[in-house]
Amino acid sequence: MSVSSNGDGNECSGCSNSNSRAAAANEVTSTTHRPPQSCNRCDTLHSSVFFDPDNKKAKQIREQVAMDVFEDLLRWLQAGGQIAIHDATNSTIERRNALINRLKTEADVNLLFVESICTDKDIINRNIKLKTQSPDYIGIDPEVAEADFRARLRNYERAYRTIGSAEEKFEVQYCKIIDVGKKVIAYNIQGFLESQVVFYLMNMNLEPRVIYITRHGESEDNLTGHIGGDTSLAPNGTRYAAALARFIDRRRLEFASEVEEQNQRLAHFMMGNGSSGNNSELESAASQESNASNSTRYPPESPAMQRHVQPDFEIWTSMLKRTMETAEHFDPERYRIKNIRSLNEIYAGKFEGMTYEEIARNYPEEYEARQLDKFFYRYPGIGGESYADVVLRLQQVIVELERIRHSVLIVTHRAMARTLLSYFMDIPTTHMPEMDLPLEYVYACEPRPFGNFLRVWKYNKHIDDFEEVDSASVLKIRYPKALLPDQATATLLPSPAETAYSSKH
Q: Order the strands of the 441-448 sheet from edge to edge.
A: 336-339, 313-317, 407-412, 211-215, 441-448, 451-460, 465-469
d(CA 142, CA 300): 23
**Residue 431 annotated as catalytic:** no
CA-to-CA dists, residue 303 to 36, 334, 407, 500, angstroms: 39, 20, 18, 42
d(CA 197, CA 200): 5
Residue 462 has, within 13 A of its CA and on its CB side, a CA count of: 1
Q: Give start and end residues of each alpha helix (H) in 312-409.
A: 321-326, 356-362, 364-372, 387-393, 395-403
Identify the helix (H) or strand (E) that includes residue 152.
Answer: helix 142-159
**Catalytic position from the list 122, 194, 345, 426:** 345
d(CA 87, CA 105): 21
**Residue 194 annotated as catalytic:** no
**Residue 400 annotated as catalytic:** no
Strands 83-87 and 2-6: parallel
CA-to-CA dists, residue 121 to 178, 283, 284, 286, angstroms: 13, 7, 10, 9
Residue 281 has, within 13 A of its CA and on its CB side, a CA count of: 10
**Catalytic position from the list 86, 226, 308, 413:** 413
3-state secondary structure of 287: coil
**Catalytic position from the list 15, 39, 46, 118:** 118
Strands 183-187 and 313-317: unpaired
Contacts of 492 (CB under 8 A, 6+ apart): 448, 450, 451, 452, 453, 479, 483, 484, 485
Contacts of 249 (CB under 8 A, 6+ apart): 334
3-state secondary structure of 407: strand
Written as one letter, the residue type at 456 is V
**Catalytic position from the list 11, 87, 122, 446:** 87
What b/e readout covers 77-88, taking b as 16+ CB neighbours within 10 angstroms?
beeebebbbbbb
3-state secondary structure of 391: helix
User: What are the DSSP calls for 435-500, one per residue?
Assistant: ----SSEEEEEEEETTEEEEEEEEEETTTTEEEEE-HHHHHT-PPPGGG-SSTTSPPPP--GGG-H
Residue 232 has, within 13 A of its CA and on its CB side, a CA count of: 5
Neighbours of 404 (CB within 10 A): 16
**Residue 345 annotated as catalytic:** yes
Q: How many Å from the N-terminal Cα to the C-terminal Cα in the chain?
A: 28
Residues labelled catalytic:
87, 118, 345, 413
